[in-house]
Chains A and B, each alone.
Chain A
Amino acid sequence: MTRIYIPLDMAAVAMGADRLAEAVASEAAARGHQIEIVRNGSRGMLWLEPLIEVETPAGRVGYGPARVKDVAALFDAGFLTGGAHPLNIGVVDEHPWMTRQNRVTFVRCGVIDPLSVAEYEAHGGFKGLKRAFELGAPAIIEEVTKSGLRGRGGAGFPTGIKWKTVADAPADRRYVVVNADEGDSGTFADRMIMEGDPLSLIEGMIICGYAIKGSKGYVYLRSEYPVVAKVFQAAIEKAREAGWLGRNIQGSGFDFDVELRIGAGAYVCGEETSLLESLEGKRGIVRAKPPLPAHVGLFGKPTVVNNVLSMATIPMILEKGAQHYADLGVGRSRGTMPLQIAGNVKYGGLFETDFGIPLGVIVNDIAGGTRSGRPVKAVQVGGPLGAYVPVSLFDLPFDYEAFAAKDSLIGHGGLVVFDDTIDMLWMARFGMEFCAIESCGKCTPCRIGSTRGVETIDKIRNGQDVEKNIELLKDLCHTMKFGSLCALGGFAPYPVESALRHFPEDFRKPALEAAE
């Protein structure tokens, strides 16, 4: 019996993984080979998807990107024993993309069967929770604080401090909420962990619940991720069957359960207070802070709202201890960051590494430059609310503070690369248009400012009072940045301002309209 891995990851499915798995199964049956197909998560080498892996005595040998039309040839080449074929990439664990990484959060992603509790445990799963049960609540929070883990959703707030605030807030009920509304373009790390290692997220939530004395956890997942919804729901059920969710978890006396909730296409619901409103069944309108969700959160109760990656990293911190995690990274950015490399790149995918790696190394070296073969013009870091970074800043190290010092942000760790054909005025306009579409409408700078932004950029585009309107646009950005209630209106100016700052020539092309 040969074990074969074909990812169930949504990106792999988008490139034909489901059809490939069927074709491999039927070809094996026709040829009389005994095989077992495991649907794993993705290894993160997304340009190779769908990547077939075959278990051999030398290790797991990869073949990718494999299409249905390649299946017969793969069998002919003896791929079941790691045979030579143009798609053979060698032993996956020895691939440079893998050996250059430091996988902490993603250590099991793509390696194990994501829906097997036994495999999860065999790869270190639930060790963190077992230690957490021994430590007790105050010591868990102490560990998380000492690890230096900061919220991976974008704001980078220290996770331990958030947990302590919730634990100390007097209440009869407390909630654990995971923000899986990963709406930023160029990001897919939450999606990959929920498909490739969903039990790590569940384990993190149980630890959090135990630490803050909460018994219910919600995962708010965006509706644009239908594959994740299926996989994660199945993972919840597997965990429950195995006694890791529900009453008296593994005889600890602690009750905890997780419920998956699906969003409905509103980007702003990735903002934590809007997400809570949505979970409560209301319009996803942002709440004014204070009070913080840690004091008055879901249904008015103290609530931890954490990003998927932060929560999925918790088990490892508890398993190996705070110091192990704190030893990674630079300055105040401790640990690792799962980079998501996307857009116009040769090698797109997930690359987890210690903080501090220079941006240029990521783009030119790891991502291999553009897929189009043209020169890089800009990289948008941190999603639609992130700044466009020019090539001249490619020595910038990837950490929270270094980016903040250049009026940029690392956000959720997504990088979208653009070649020299991109028009930055158009991208600035799109940034404002997106904000106008997705604004919840509660505060004026965001609701009205974004629409006025689109109009002003259109005037610049038409060559109308260009310098005057650029000044007006800058003023508008300032108002939105400092007058908006949440990060949507507050950060929407980042792409616009950075485009103006680094690519002024794109805003001064009066001939643009005439040429179209």
Chain B
Amino acid sequence: MAGAAPYSDERAREIIAAHMGLEGPALPILHALQDEFGFVPESAVREMANALNISRAEMHGVVTFYHDFHSAPHGRHVLKICRAESCQSMGAEKQANEFLARHKLEWGQTTPDGSLTVEPVYCLGLCAHSPSALYDGEPIGMVDATTLDEIVEEASGK
């Protein structure tokens, strides 16, 4: 996240062009755009609509359907906390609510210093080690309040 490149239409067009040989290239392009820029800017959506020869409305519909793609930059780090049933069986809901309250956050919000965005996730497949979380793509099993607080601290220090 920290290494997100500044947006340019030219770079977006390059990324789009690199995927045009694929069948049904929209999702691979969106992932590549978000990997590059940290989010999917409105102008990139316009470039995609042009390249794929569909309306901007239709393209907008695709981008907004998926939880993963976001139209504004996230925090420099992202913490995804699992809310699904298995994690709930080990008290994840209470733990997450207390964590959010402690840091004055709501689901989907970013800390005031812009260092960490906290999102819910519905199952990471780590259900024998509930509760679980994913921090910048790194899985964490049997996560507790201390670990969660340490992540907030670590994120803000970088």
Residue positions of A touching B, CB distance < 8 A = 10-11, 13-15, 46-47, 49, 182-188, 191, 223-227, 259, 261-267, 278-285, 299, 340-345, 348-349, 371-372, 380, 384, 414, 416-419, 422, 427, 430, 434, 437-438, 440
Please indicate the chain B residues that have their CB under 8 angstroms from the CB of A345 in the complex: 128
Q: Which residue of B lies closest to A220 (CB)?
A: B27
Count of A-B residue pairs with CB < 8 Å: 154
User: B43-74 vs A: 1/0 string, CB under 8 Å?
Assistant: 00000000010000000011001111100000
Give me 18 A-to-B residue pairs in the complex whose CB atoms sit less than 8 angstroms apart, sorted by A's number. Answer: A10-B125, A13-B139, A14-B132, A46-B128, A188-B126, A223-B68, A262-B27, A262-B31, A264-B68, A265-B67, A280-B23, A280-B24, A281-B24, A285-B65, A344-B90, A384-B122, A416-B85, A430-B88
Partner of A46, one of B61, B68, B129: B129
Bound complex: CA of A497 vs CA of B125, how far in Å? 25
With an 8 A cutoff between CB atoms, is B28 at the interface? yes
A266 / chain B contacts, CB cutoff of 8 Å: 65-67
Q: Does B86 contact A (CB under 8 A)?
A: yes
* A264 with B30: CB separation less than 8 A: yes
Complex CA–CA separation, A349 to B141 (angstroms) = 13
Contact A14 B126, CB 8 Å, known A185-B84, A265-B67, A283-B62? yes
Please indicate the chain B residues that have their CB under 8 angstroms from the CB of A185 in the complex: 84-87, 122-123, 127
B89: contacting residue among A223, A261, A267, A417, CB under 8 A: A417
Would you call B87 and A264 a contact (CB within 8 A)? no
Contact of A278 among B27, B88, B134 (CB under 8 A): B27
The 8 A CB mask of B75-108 against A (1 = contact, 0 = none) is 0000010001111111000000000000000000
Whether the Cβ atoms of A348 and B128 lie closer than 8 Å is yes
| Distance from B138 Cβ to chain A, minimum over Cβ atoms (Å) | 8
Please state if A299 and B23 are interface contacts (CB–CB under 8 Å): yes
Query: Which residue in A227, A299, A342, A434 is a CB contact (below 8 Å) of B127?
Result: A342
Evaluate whether A281 and B125 lie within 8 angstroms (CB atoms) in the complex, with A427-B85, A430-B88 already known.
no
Q: Please, which residue of chain B has its CB at the minimum distance from the CB of A182?
A: B125
Minimum CB–CB distance from B133 to chain A (whole Å) comes to 9
A-B contacts besides A225-B124, A284-B65, A343-B127, 17 pairs, CB < 8 Å: A10-B124, A10-B139, A183-B122, A184-B123, A186-B85, A186-B123, A188-B125, A188-B127, A224-B125, A264-B31, A264-B66, A264-B69, A279-B24, A281-B25, A283-B62, A416-B89, A440-B65
Residues of chain A within 8 A of B84, CB atoms compared: 185-186, 384, 434
Do the beta carbons of B67 and A281 come within 8 Å of each other?
no
Contact of A11 among B30, B52, B67, B129 (CB under 8 A): B129
Residues of B within 8 A of A344 (CB): 89-90, 130
**Chain A residue contacts of B137, Cβ below 8 A:** 226
The reply to whether B52 and A281 form a contact with Cβ atoms under 8 Å apart is yes
Q: How far is the CA of A397 from the CA of B42 in the complex (A)?
A: 53
**If A261-B27, A281-B26 touch, does A14 touch B89 (CB 8 Å cutoff)?**
no
**A residues near B123, Cβ cutoff 8 Å:** 183-187, 224
Is the pair B62, A281 in contact by a Cβ cutoff of 8 Å? yes
Report whether B86 and A14 are in contact in the complex, using a CB–CB cutoff of 8 Å. Answer: no
Interface residues of chain B, those whose CB is within 8 Å of chain A, are 22-28, 30-31, 52, 61-62, 65-69, 80, 84-90, 121-130, 132, 134, 137-142
- Interchain CA distance A224-B81 in the complex, whole Å: 11
CB neighbours (8 Å) of A349 from chain B are 128
B55 to chain A, nearest CB (A): 13
Cβ B122 vs Cβ A438 within 8 A: yes
Nearest CB in chain B: distance from A96 CB, A: 17
Closest-by-CB residue of B relative to A437 is B122
Cβ 8 A contact of B128, one of A11, A263, A384? A11
**Complex Cα spacing A227 to B141, Å:** 14
Tell whether, in the assembled complex, residue B88 and residue A427 are in contact, meaning their CB atoms are under 8 Å apart.
yes
Q: In the complex, what residues of B have CB within 8 A of residue A49's CB?
A: 129
Do A342 and B86 touch across chains, with their CB atoms under 8 A apart?
yes
Q: Which residue in B27, B67, B85, B128 is a CB contact (below 8 Å) of A430?
A: B85
Residues of B within 8 A of A419 (CB): 89
Interface pair B122/A267, CB less than 8 Å apart: yes
CB distance from A436 to the nearest CB of B (A): 12
Cβ B129 vs Cβ A343 within 8 A: no
- CB neighbours (8 Å) of B132 from chain A are 14
CA distance A306 to B142 in the complex (A): 32
- What residue of chain B has the Cβ atom nearest to residue A299's Cβ? B23
Verify B61–A283 contact, CB threshold 8 A: yes
